Amino acid sequence: MRLGDVATVPRLAPGSTSVWAQYTIRVASGRRDGLAAALKACGIPTAVHYPIPLHRQEAYQRFPVAADGAPVSERLAEEVISLPMHAYLDPATQDRIIDAVRGALNHLAASIAARPTIIGLDSRDFAAGQRPPG
């Protein structure tokens, strides 16, 4: 029972180990907040360590950024979420977290897939409160 088929998970190079101070996964765009809410409802804490990319934080304003910005950093700031990770996380609790993440992401994927599209656009293409034309 793993998460690699529903999210992008950390990978280690062969022969490497990690102390896993954080276990951060990447989910499809637009699903992180729903995942966090679903896990919170199950009593599972999450964290978003850098909701504002470093290049947009005040401490980094004097450092140069490429002309087109930092699109990878922008995207990751919207798609990554850290799951519980500590030395006392027993296998049963790990399984509970994995089941909750899988369930929430599968539910979110199904509800997004069920949204109607209009002329190649979907509801994510409109600002909150706006209605699509027609």
Q: Which domains does the chain have, with CATH numbers?
A: 23-125 (3.90.1150.10)
Handedness of CA 59, 61, 65, 70 (dihedral sign): positive
Round to whole Å and give the CA distance between 120 and 21. 42
Round to whole Å and give the CA distance between 21 and 49. 12
> First CA to last CA across the chain, in angstroms?
45
For each of the chain's 134 residues, which pLDDT tens digit applies? 589 999 999 999 999 999 888 999 999 999 999 999 999 999 999 999 999 999 999 999 899 899 888 999 999 999 999 999 988 999 999 999 999 999 999 999 888 777 665 555 554 554 444 444 44
Round to whole Å and give the CA distance between 107 and 109. 5
Q: Are 81 and 32 in contact (CB under 8 A)?
A: yes
**pTM, to two decimals:** 0.79
